[in-house]
Chain A
């Protein structure tokens, strides 16, 4: 898939903008705080109709405005030329696909895949379990409708169980919802296990390319129950009731799952150096993009938010060689990109305004 044009209206610090993209490499250059990441955020939004930066929708609309919008022209492997528009309204959002309002937003989720490379990505390795879970849930939901459905049902049943805990519901009522949680939870655990095993293969391959080290990379996923066994998960919920009644919330279950990144069989959180962790998350994003492609046959658009500047020149070159030759890349940075990386279409970003850089694109060496 390729993004051919994007329009923003009252989105973050952008009052109004429309950018037409030609070719497969776009670069947004400008000082910090000018709106580069906001544009990437808008492109990334079309994948899951969620922001990769924030869960708070009201912060997406420009300060002082009530409504905002994103509109994308997309060239798509299976849908052909498409137009997706997202309108942000107070407390809600709506999507329009080719001029028709989308009644069930879940139908759009995952159809327009993008993968974001962000300087915050190292949080995935060393941050909280919630960060990793959010990434895994988003990645899986985007390619797997059944996973999304199971995730929504699981969380609904979890909210019901927590409501029961708060008003001291009977064991029989708790069990009724625990059974739903166990059914849906097993789907979550199995799909997570499967996906992490597949992603680990891609991760190792790409880590070898970027770090120039033949080290095995992977994940240690320790779900709540070792074997894929609904009865064991059900017993776990039942066993936690006494504690959960006191805490008035459900202390264990797939909603508390976590995994570790492994490098050379050891937890990367503790044993990997800063540079190794950085190479690891870049590899993760590339592996994620490849996984998307193999599952959905759609080439994701890669959004690189200020990650190039952090790499030394030899790693940067290896990173570029690991990117599939026909992927669209939209990147940001404070200095113009290396000419050696290809023909970039460059936009200057200042104070929420985007201007095509006057040709020929400025070439600077660092």
Chain B
């Protein structure tokens, strides 16, 4: 190992999903097996780092002031789905079921990990709400203690009271195509509580 190779390996090891061995493998692959691919990779990293930023409006990834979803005129801007992180947007988009806009908080309230309202993407959300063009907010945060607390915080502190804006919480219950038999009791309970009119 040379000092530069070791340096590269240390940098790679900091990436999520890469351990000591895989970092070594990637470093050796880049330098020895496919050195011709290296300039393209460096170029891609540099241009992505320069171009990708947060959308001014919703916090999703963008290359302009606004992300592709906020720019899309066919989307309904008056409905906002609030999510924790960028991968949540990707998952919801993959479902193809949602035609509104998003707001990415980049986290949730978690005092144990030192995350408070100042660490979340709330100021642009406030601006959007105050502009008055929002009719419905869908809270699609996770169904755990910190997710619930963040929903409480949003409804009491951020979303103005007075019934102008409809606030809904995403449903929790049985997975599609899943039967009642294999669901655990807590999931069944929330599925029963969240039942809706039929026929």
Give chain A's interface residues, CB within 8 Å of chain B: 145-146, 149, 153, 156-157, 159-161, 163-164, 167, 169-170, 172-173, 175-177, 179-180, 183
The CA-CA distance from A94 to B185 in the complex, in Å, is 23
Interface of chain B residues 167 through 189 with chain A (CB within 8 A):
184-186, 189
CB of A145 within 8 A of CB of B116, answer no
CB of B149 within 8 A of CB of A177, answer yes
- How close is A69's CB to chain B, nearest CB, in angstroms? 27
Bits for B128-165, please: 1 = Cβ < 8 Å to A, else 0.
00000000000000001110111011001100000000
Q: A176-B150, A177-B149, A180-B145 are in contact. Are A160 and B186 (CB under 8 A)?
A: no
**Count the A-B residue pairs with Cβ separation under 8 angstroms: how many?**
60
Q: Contacting B117 at CB < 8 Å: which of A157, A163, A173?
A: A173
Question: Closest residue to B147 on the A side, CB-wise?
Answer: A180
Contact-residue size bin, chain B (C-beta under 8 Å from the other chain) = 20 to 34
Chain A contacts of B111 at CB under 8 A?
160-161, 163-164, 167, 169, 173, 177
Q: A145-B186, A146-B189, A149-B186 are in contact. Are A163 and B112 (CB under 8 A)?
A: yes
The CA-CA distance from A159 to B146 in the complex, in Å, is 11
Q: A146-B189, A169-B111 are in contact. Are A160 and B156 (CB under 8 A)?
A: no
Question: Closest residue to B113 on the A side, CB-wise?
Answer: A163
Secondary structure at the B interface, as helix, strand, loop or mixed, is: helix
CB of B186 within 8 A of CB of A180, answer no
CB of A180 within 8 A of CB of B116, answer no
Chain A contacts of B145 at CB under 8 A?
153, 156-157, 160, 177, 180
CB of A173 within 8 A of CB of B153, answer yes
Secondary structure at the A interface, as helix, strand, loop or mixed, is: helix
Question: Closest residue to B157 on the A side, CB-wise?
Answer: A172
The CA-CA distance from A170 to B149 in the complex, in Å, is 14
CB of A145 within 8 A of CB of B185, answer yes
Chain B contacts of A159 at CB under 8 A?
112
CB of A180 within 8 A of CB of B148, answer yes
Sorted nearest first, the 9 A-B pairs with minimum C-beta distance are A163-B111, A176-B153, A176-B149, A176-B152, A156-B145, A164-B111, A179-B152, A160-B111, A157-B145
Q: A157-B145, A163-B112, A177-B111 are in contact. Are A172 and B156 (CB under 8 A)?
A: yes
Chain A contacts of B105 at CB under 8 A?
none
Chain B contacts of A172 at CB under 8 A?
117, 153, 156-157
The CA-CA distance from A145 to B184 in the complex, in Å, is 9
Chain B contacts of A164 at CB under 8 A?
111
CB of A176 within 8 A of CB of B110, answer no
Q: A156-B145, A169-B111 are in contact. Are A176 and B156 (CB under 8 A)?
A: yes
